Amino acid sequence: MSGDAHRDGDDQAKASEAKDTLAPSAGTESWARPRRETPHSTPTGLHFTVFGRTDVGLVRDHNEDTFMVADLSSGAGPLESEDESEGTVSSRGLALAVCDGMGGAAAGEVASHMAVDALFEILRGDDAAQDRDSFAHRLVASVEEAGARIFLAAKKDRTRRGMGTTATAAGLIDKVLFVGQVGDSRCYVLRRGQLSLITKDQSLVNQLIEAGQLTEDEAEAFEHSNIILQALGTTERVAVDLTFVELRRGDRVLLCSDGLSGLVHDEAIREEMACIGPLPQLIDRLIELANAAGGHDNVTCVVADFDGDALEPPEESAVPFYQQYPLPRDGEGHSGGPTLPTAVRSMVPRAMTAPRPQRVSQPEAPSSFSWPTAASVLVLLGLAAAITIIGSGRPPSEMVAEPLPPPPAYADAQTPVEVRVRTSVEQGELYVNGRSYGPLRLDEAVLLRLLPGSYRIEAREVDGTQVGEDVLVEPGQPTEVQLTPPTD
């Protein structure tokens, strides 16, 4: 089985019967989540057109990337083809994925194929997900299961020790696109000609930029840009970064491996996505740009267009951005898998980062971390180590990186400031200036990123109880907000 593609092509499944529309609360920059007891139904008239392709590039001798496109209503599984597909989103949803394998020889190819198989199997399940939360749980579980299977396979077969893969898997249900990510493959959304990155690279260089230890210019020359912080298969468990965006009419979604994003600037990607209509021509052009920049890695792209009366038209201010989705906990207090420390919800679009430098090969034996400046940075940040991954054929050196501290205070008035919100209400919903920012839970912090200014932050309970506070966010001054109902 080659590493080129997986696609689901069941025409009957794509024409499955649509159900009653469930419209989430509208918002210009944020999606207001419906009550959890609301049953799931599929919007009528949510159309998609999707195409994917992978290319070996100009340097690698084989392709370790794999992608998936699948209508989850079909039990046949994703098919190996590269044909443009279109249809109506079924009641089970639509799934897209890009996996960038690593490990050398055929190990990376094996890992990326195993990941795609696990993603489809778990996402489809025995029956349709009941609501958005259960679908989000299922997406996280599919990525976790993929990692566990690869880790076990590598443990059993010494020739495959160290194999692994990144995974960026997107699942669409009820107009909401969920994205589960491990590694540094990316997901972008093009809306009204503007390109937004809705994932965050789990890489050392990106962490150092966010922590203020590297500038964008310094990152271009950073010799350890090949280090990512986790990958499927290199450890028994992974923490899946789960983000979401509510689609609008005319949205174009791109999933890609770092063979594209590491060599082609975001602005160049935006220009091509905004100007080229036919999806096969668009992907051919993106691959051409990556190869023109050196083609040092396999290049994989999946692009999907979404349209139809089920989607609201885009508003001028409704810009997609990186926004984590906080999974609800089950009756035992678990969220269904390892969760990231704090839900981050932003009032401003996440700025697109500069492209990473091209990936280069390293010797099979892990070399010492000798760059003096980088070494001192790692010591100061408390990094013990990291997982070294350098495209196809990357050496399987395994290390574990401690989380970096939050970014330092900013003096720029146009830079978002961290505002941490806690509440003592049992169950409530967070509102900022009258706009819903999803659920609040007892003693669980929500991290907002707000531009400096005045805000009204409220916790509203189901029974109508409200508690709020007027907050002044000052440049470079992180703020703590405790919302406590008055006692009788």
Q: Which DSSP string corresponds to 377-418? A: HHHHHT----EE--STT-------PPPPPPPPP---TTS-EE
pLDDT of residue 305: 97
Question: Could you give phi then psi for residue 310, rounded to 5 degrees?
Answer: -70, -25
| β-pair partners for 48 | 87, 306
CA–CA gap between residue 341 and residue 160 (Å, rounded): 32
Q: What is the predicted pLDDT for the residue at 488?
A: 55
CA dist., res. 169 & res. 166, Å (int):
10
In this predicted structure, the answer to whether residue 26 has a pLDDT above a threshold of 90 is no
Query: Which pLDDT value is given to residue 432?
Result: 84
Name every residue whose Cβ is closer than 8 Å to that of residue 96 and which is 6 or more positions away in sequence.
Answer: 50, 52, 67, 68, 69, 70, 169, 170, 171, 253, 255, 302, 304
Instruction: Kindly report, residue by residue over 417-468, the tens digit of the pLDDT.
Output: 788 888 877 777 888 877 777 777 776 788 787 778 888 888 887 666 788 8
Domains of the chain: 6-322 (3.60.40.10), 417-483 (2.60.40.1120)
Q: What is the spatial distance between Cα 242 and Cα 134, in angstroms, rounded to a whole number?
A: 13
**Does the pLDDT of residue 366 top 90, yes or no?**
no
User: Per-residue pLDDT for 469 more than 50?
Assistant: yes
Indicate the pairing of strand 417-423 with strand 479-483.
parallel
| 330, HSE (Cβ side, Cα atoms, 13 Å) | 8
Torsion angle defined by CA atoms of residues 281, 287, 288 and 291, in that order, rounded to the nearest 10 degrees? -170
**Residue 161 DSSP class:** T
Average pLDDT over every residue of 12-34: 34
Q: Would you say 260 and 194 are in contact if contact means Cβ atoms under 8 Å apart?
A: no
> What phi, psi does 311 have (nearest 5°)?
-95, 140
CA separation for the pair 279, 272 (Å, rounded): 11
Q: Who wins on pLDDT, 104 or 407? A: 104
Please choose, from the candidates 138, 135, 125, the residue with its C-alpha nearest in 3D space to the C-alpha of residue 39: 135
What pLDDT score does 421 carry? 87
pLDDT at residue 388 in the model: 42
Whether the predicted model's global pTM rises above the 0.85 cut? no
Distance CA 142, CA 460 (A): 33
Task: Please state the rounded mean pLDDT for residues 90-107.
Answer: 87
Query: For 292-330, what is each residue's pLDDT tens digit?
Result: 999 999 999 999 999 999 999 998 777 899 999 987 764
How does strand 241-246 pair with strand 176-182?
antiparallel
Mention every residue, 6+ apart, whose C-beta is less than 8 A from residue 28.
315, 317, 318, 435
Compare 104 and 361 and report the one with higher pLDDT.
Answer: 104
Q: Give me Rg for the CA atoms of the chain.
A: 22
Region 356-360: what's the mean pLDDT? 34
User: In the beta sheet, which residues pair with residue 169?
Assistant: 97, 180
Per-residue pLDDT, averaged over 340-358, amounts to: 32
pLDDT tens per residue across span 266-296: 999 999 999 999 999 999 999 999 999 999 9
Contacts of residue 52, defined as CB under 8 A and 6 or more positions apart, other chains included, come to: 5, 7, 67, 69, 82, 96, 283, 300, 301, 302, 303
